[in-house]
């Protein structure tokens, strides 16, 4: 019986990697410093796994930005536009090329856009999308996976390197032109994988983990056939190398026959997400294959219920025998915060509730303890751990902090009238045009403005008690007033207050809702150096008092323009929190929806005429298997409608979504019945608009014209081009002009330049359209 995890968080328990990367990017430290920060984190992670007593220790789970981008660099899937970065030998290192692909490059007379970024399955982690071309050739370029294996070996640890499997790598990418299928590139790609494996084997690697999450997704026949070919070839070339084929985030379901037919030493299944699959997997597993049981939840912070896990292990033992069973985390711990022991403030995280939790470091111990409890020879000595665990599990089940009758009663008494606006969109649009009197192509932003070190510093000092409430409030009001004046000067039609008071668009709301607790250090990587600290829902959720009204009303008092109120929607609050697992997600979501509904009413009452309810995570929450979509969409759309429909026709409801891949769910998005939707589209050159060609979307739309994830400043010409593209498929009266998303990660100088260019593009578009009309 072997224990392992599929990967460990790489940000460092105090976000050391984030800090080191940002220092490097801003020119404040050398490449050597950054490389050394990476080295330290890897060593620490290996030592942690070793000390915990795991049998297999993972390598190549470290990444300076993203593990998919690492794979692109490994196989030289480097789009041509980046070639000048290395070719002109400006002293750039491989890592500079890598960061250019991730973040764009505007230096030395070069101006190169970043690669596209999208969500990693249904998580809040983002990966960099590989770009593929017809007949693309691959070759070994970055040797990171090999270097890190050697690095660990030199430290006395023979690791299990993890690679994104070739089929998943191809499926994760995108065809940059028509006329080919990226799966056909496998014949060019596979030799590079074989070369990597040859090098690893030569260096003494015994185990390799291939992450093939797509094996648990809906697959085409062609993808299935590709799987068979690829893993047969790998087995043929390396009959001695032991491979673990890792699936996660879903069940194998209809791919079970395929999965068990692939020649791997071990198959890993996610029993947290899809526990139902154990019996059929056990029944189908070939005689020599081992099964890695993904029992410890990599996606949530609740303690593992050992009694429940031991039942699974027992079942697997009976069928397979002890030697063919592995105990593991359900997926990589990348999605877990690092260390619960760092949560020492009992006012912030009550000890009673903390006792219900486990972060990544604790999960290592859980995996190892489960093995001890499963083996007769160690069972006795670990018995006290089982007892303590069952005590925590029982304490959570019986706690009186969790269930609140008034919240449950209110959910039960929701009526159909609580789920619709008073009039249909056409009527509302007329009334709103009259009430708001906005120009054609109104300009706006998505809500946040730069969260400077200064603003974050005020909050940090306030939290430490070094600033009084009044002083902190005053500083934020000054910053808000400055932002309102700046927007007036630029001539933005629908200003926002800037969200300076928010640490994060979800954590901020969590902090004001009952039923939530927080960590001080529970950071999880979102993309690159950016992290989030998901708040934790442990009980029934309700809103004790208004959450945003002060800020919106204050900002509105400074301008005649309609100030846009800014809320996060129920699905996104759910999706970006750690969620209780003792009731269906939909029930928790409905509770949040009612809290937001009350906030919307309070904003309207305070004179706010435009309210944006952000739902960037509605797409990411979509089940990974199509057969499950409808059920989810039904409750998610209902929750949004409960939150947004308690207003007069004249009040304009906006929503905002990032990540434009929702062509398939456009009908459901229409059913959200908002007045305006702003969406991320610029990195994909307005590809999203394809959906509108076939589907006449009922409401007004702001397709993002500027990529806010990159420090690059777009010109007004390129934004005008995107707007013209949008006008081909959208009626002029419905088109808004805005960036892709909020600007909190940007600096003020680039924000000022880019927003001025954007306003200029809107003006030019108005002039063009007016000249045509006249
Ligand atoms: N939850 C969530 N998910 C999301 C998004 C989102 O906005 N929120 N957006 C998309 C992803 N985009 C993102 C964009 C930006 C950041 C981001 O800026 N994160 C910040 C942290 C934000 C935060 O919580 N800030 C806190 C804490 C800041 C902090 O680091 N404080 C220091 C002290 C600071 C000081 O002394 O000056 C500390 O705790 O050590 C605050 O402002 O109060 C970061 O990585 O730096 C994250 C995700 C999708 N998923
Ligand atoms: Zn966004």
The answer to whether 265 is annotated as binding is no
* Mutation choice for ligand 1 from 126, 532, 620, CB with most ligand atoms inside 8 A: 532
Determine, yes or no, domain membership for 116.
Answer: yes
196-215 mean pLDDT:
98
Question: Looking at this predicted complex, what is its ipTM?
Answer: 0.97
Q: What is the pLDDT of residues 429-438, one digit of tens each?
A: 999 999 999 9
Q: Are 275 and 248 in contact (CB under 8 A)?
A: no
* One domain for residues 320 and 455: no
* One domain for residues 305 and 409: no
The answer to whether 242 is annotated as binding is no
Q: Are 506 and 572 in contact (CB under 8 A)?
A: yes
CB neighbours (10 Å) of residue 454?
11
* One domain for residues 412 and 361: no
The answer to whether 18 is annotated as binding is yes
* One domain for residues 372 and 412: no
Evaluate: CB of 204 within 6 angstroms of ligand 1. Answer: no
**Which residue has tokens 């790489």?**
10
For every residue of 209-267, DSSP letters joined together read: EEE-GGGGS---HHHHHHHHHHHHHHHHH-TTSEEEEE--SS--GGGHHHHHHS--SEE
Evaluate: CB of 531 within 6 angstroms of ligand 1. Answer: yes
Structure tokens at 48: 């942690």
Q: What is the pLDDT of residues 289-336, one digit of tens each?
A: 999 999 999 999 999 999 999 999 999 999 999 999 999 999 999 999
Q: Supply the pLDDT for residue 89.
A: 59
* One domain for residues 168 and 226: yes
Q: Does pLDDT of 281 surpass 60?
A: yes
Q: What is the pLDDT of residues 393-402, one digit of tens each?
A: 999 999 999 9
**Which residue has tokens 């992290």?**
531
- Active-site residue flag, 709: yes
Pairing of strands 117-119, 110-112: unpaired
Tell me the percentage of the chain whose pLDDT exceeds 70. Answer: 99
Residue located nearest, by CA, to atom 49 of ligand 1:
124
* One domain for residues 392 and 454: no
End position of a domain, from candidates 398, 429, 458 = 398
Q: Supply the pLDDT for residue 684.
A: 75
* One domain for residues 497 and 604: yes
665-676 mean pLDDT:
95
Report how far ligand 1's centroid is from the alpha carbon of 748 (Å).
17
Determine, yes or no, domain membership for 282.
Answer: yes
Q: Are 704 and 680 in contact (CB under 8 A)?
A: yes
Q: Decide: helix, strand or coil at residue 84.
A: helix
* One domain for residues 393 and 448: no
Q: Which domain holds residue 747?
A: 405-416+442-773
* One domain for residues 367 and 410: no
The answer to whether 631 is annotated as binding is no
**Residue 594: exposed, middle, or buried by beta-carbon count in 10 A (0-12, 13-18, 19+)?**
buried
Report how far ligand 2's centroid is from the alpha carbon of 754 (Å).
17
The average confidence (pLDDT) of the chain is 96
Q: What are the start-end ranges of the H helices in 424-525?
A: 425-436, 453-463, 469-490, 507-510
Q: How confident is the model at residue 682 (pLDDT cuts 50, 70, 90)?
A: confident
Evaluate: CB of 576 within 6 angstroms of ligand 1. Answer: yes
Report how far ligand 1's centroid is from the alpha carbon of 502 (Å).
9
Query: In angstroms, how far is the first alpha carbon of the chain from the final one?
Result: 79
Q: What is the pLDDT of residues 46-75, one digit of tens each?
A: 999 999 999 999 999 999 999 999 999 999
**CATH code for position 289:** 3.20.20.210
The answer to whether 331 is annotated as binding is no
* One domain for residues 462 and 388: no
pTM to 2 decimals?
0.96
Determine, yes or no, domain membership for 426.
Answer: no
Gap between the Cα atoms of 659 and 677, Å rounded: 13
Q: Which residues contact 527 (CB under 8 A, 6 or more apart)?
A: 66, 117, 125, 126, 709
Q: Which residues contact 546 (CB under 8 A, 6 or more apart)?
A: 599, 602
Determine, yes or no, domain membership for 422.
Answer: no
- Ligand at minimal distance from the CA of 504 is 1
Residue located nearest, by CA, to atom 11 of ligand 1:
526
Q: Decide: helix, strand or coil at residue 134.
A: coil
End position of a domain, from candidates 371, 398, 425 = 398
Residue 282 main-chain phi, psi, to 5 deg: -60, -40
Catalytic residue among 4, 126, 335, 709, which? 709
Evaluate: CB of 456 within 6 angstroms of ligand 1. Answer: yes
Q: Supply the pLDDT for residue 91.
A: 63
End position of a domain, from candidates 364, 398, 432 = 398
CB neighbours (10 Å) of residue 673?
21
* One domain for residues 377 and 412: no
Q: What is the pLDDT of residues 339-371, one digit of tens each?
A: 999 999 999 999 999 999 999 999 999 999 999
* Mutation choice for ligand 1 from 19, 526, 620, CB with most ligand atoms inside 8 A: 526
The answer to whether 305 is annotated as binding is no
Residue located nearest, by CA, to atom 17 of ligand 1:
530
Gap between the Cα atoms of 43 and 529, Å rounded: 19
**Which residue has tokens 């070094």?**
466
* Mutation choice for ligand 1 from 530, 659, 708, CB with most ligand atoms inside 8 A: 530
Longest dimension (CA), the chain: 89
Determine, yes or no, domain membership for 423.
Answer: no
Nearest to 251 by CA among 294, 298, 216: 216
Length of the chain: 774
Determine, yes or no, domain membership for 436.
Answer: no
Q: What is the pLDDT of residues 493-530, one digit of tens each?
A: 999 999 999 999 999 999 999 999 999 999 999 999 99
Q: How far is CA 170 from CA 182, 390, 408, in A?
A: 6, 43, 46
Report how far ligand 2's centroid is from the alpha carbon of 690 (Å).
20
Q: How confident is the model at residue 773 (pLDDT cuts 50, 70, 90)?
A: low
Closest ligand 1 atom to 529 CA: 45
Determine, yes or no, domain membership for 431.
Answer: no
Report how far ligand 2's centroid is from the alpha carbon of 681 (Å).
11
Report how far ligand 2's centroid is from the alpha carbon of 84 (Å).
31
Q: How far is CA 541 from CA 99, 505, 511, 587, 613, in A?
A: 41, 17, 11, 10, 18
Structure tokens at 397: 């089940």
Q: Supply the pLDDT for residue 663.
A: 81
Q: Are 28 and 79 in contact (CB under 8 A)?
A: no
Q: Supply the pLDDT for residue 662.
A: 77
197-202 mean pLDDT:
98
* One domain for residues 237 and 366: yes
Evaluate: CB of 295 within 6 angstroms of ligand 1. Answer: no
The number of folded domains in the chain is 2
């Amino acid at each position: 019986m072997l224990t392992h995890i599929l990967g460990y968080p790489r940000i460092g328990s105090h976000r050391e990697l984030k800090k080191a990367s940002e220092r490097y990017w801003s020119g404040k430290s050398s490449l050597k410093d950054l490389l050394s920060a990476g080295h330290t984190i890897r060593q620490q992670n290996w030592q942690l796994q070793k000390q915990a007593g795991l049998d297999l220790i993972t390598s190549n789970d470290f990444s300076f930005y993203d593990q998919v981008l690492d794979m692109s660099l490994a196989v030289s899937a480097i789009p041509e536009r980046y070639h000048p970065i290395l070719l002109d030998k400006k002293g750039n290192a491989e890592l500079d090329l890598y960061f250019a692909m991730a973040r764009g490059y505007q230096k030395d007379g070069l101006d190169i856009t970043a690669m596209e970024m999208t969500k990693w399955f249904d998580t809040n982690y983002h990966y960099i999308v590989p770009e593929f071309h017809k007949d693309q050739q691959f070759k070994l370029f970055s040797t990171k996976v090999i270097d890190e294996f050697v690095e660990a070996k030199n430290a006395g640890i023979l690791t299990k390197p993890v690679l994104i499997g070739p089929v998943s790598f191809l499926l994760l990418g995108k065809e940059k032109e028509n006329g080919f299928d990226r799966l056909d590139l496998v014949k060019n790609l596979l030799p590079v994988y074989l070369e990597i494996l040859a090098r690893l084997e030569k260096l003494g690697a015994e185990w390799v983990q291939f992450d093939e999450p797509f094996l648990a997704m809906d697959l085409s026949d062609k993808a299935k056939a590709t799987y068979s070919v690829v893993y047969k070839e790998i087995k043929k070339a390396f009959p001695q190398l032991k491979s673990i084929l890792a699936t996660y985030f879903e069940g194998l379901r209809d791919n079970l026959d395929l999965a068990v037919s692939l020649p791997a030493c071990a198959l890993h299944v996610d029993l947290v997400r899809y526990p139902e699959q154990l019996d059929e997997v056990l029944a189908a597993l070939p005689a020599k294959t081992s099964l890695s049981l993904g029992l410890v939840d990599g996606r949530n912070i609740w303690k593992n219920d050992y009694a429940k896990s031991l039942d699974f292990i027992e079942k697997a033992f009976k069928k397979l025998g002890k030697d063919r069973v592995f105990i593991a985390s359900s997926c990589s711990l990348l999605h877990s915060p690092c260390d619960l022991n760092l949560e020492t403030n009992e006012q912030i995280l009550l000890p009673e509730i903390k006792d219900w939790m486990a972060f990544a470091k604790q999960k290592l111990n859980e995996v190892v303890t489960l093995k001890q409890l499963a083996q007769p020879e160690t069972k006795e000595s670990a018995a006290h751990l089982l007892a303590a665990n069952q005590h925590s599990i029982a304490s959570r089940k019986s706690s009186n902090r969790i269930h609140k009758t008034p919240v449950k009663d209110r959910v039960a008494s929701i009526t159909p009238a609580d789920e619709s606006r008073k009039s249909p969109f056409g009527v509302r649009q007329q009334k709103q045009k009259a009430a708001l009197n906005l120009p054609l192509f109104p300009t706006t932003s998505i809500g946040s403005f730069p969260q400077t070190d200064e603003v974050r510093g005020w909050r940090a000092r306030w939290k430490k008690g070094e600033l009084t409430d009044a002083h902190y409030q005053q500083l934020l009001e000054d910053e808000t007033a400055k932002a309102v004046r700046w927007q007036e000067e630029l001539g933005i039609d629908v200003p926002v207050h800037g969200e300076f008071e928010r640490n994060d668009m979800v954590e901020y709301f969590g902090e004001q809702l009952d039923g939530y607790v927080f960590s001080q250090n529970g950071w999880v990587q979102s993309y690159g150096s950016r992290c989030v600290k998901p708040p934790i829902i442990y009980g029934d959720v309700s809103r004790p008092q208004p959450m945003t009204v002060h800020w919106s009303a204050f900002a509105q008092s400074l301008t005649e323009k309609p100030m846009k109120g800014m809320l996060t929607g129920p699905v996104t609050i759910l999706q970006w929190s750690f969620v209780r697992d003792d009731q269906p997600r939909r029930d928790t979501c409905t509770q949040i929806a009612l809290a937001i509904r009350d906030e919307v009413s309070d904003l309207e009452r305070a004179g706010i005429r435009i309210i944006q309810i952000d739902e960037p995570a509605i797409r990411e929450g979509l089940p990974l298997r199509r057969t499950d979509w409808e059920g989810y969409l039904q409750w998610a759309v209902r929750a949004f409608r409960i939150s947004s429909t308690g207003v007069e026709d004249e009040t304009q409801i906006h929503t905002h979504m990032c990540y434009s891949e929702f062509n398939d769910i456009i009908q459901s998005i229409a059913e959200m019945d908002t007045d305006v939707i702003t969406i991320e589209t610029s990195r994909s050159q307005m590809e999203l608009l394809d959906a509108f060609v076939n589907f006449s979307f009922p409401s007004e739309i702001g397709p993002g014209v500027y990529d806010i994830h990159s420090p690059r400043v777009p010109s007004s010409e390129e934004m005008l081009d995107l707007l013209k593209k949008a006008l081909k498929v959208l009626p002029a009266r419905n088109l808004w002009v805005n960036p892709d998303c909020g600007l909190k990660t940007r600096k003020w100088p680039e924000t000022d330049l880019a927003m001025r260019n954007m306003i200029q593009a809107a003006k030019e578009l108005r002039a063009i359209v007016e000249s045509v009309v006249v």
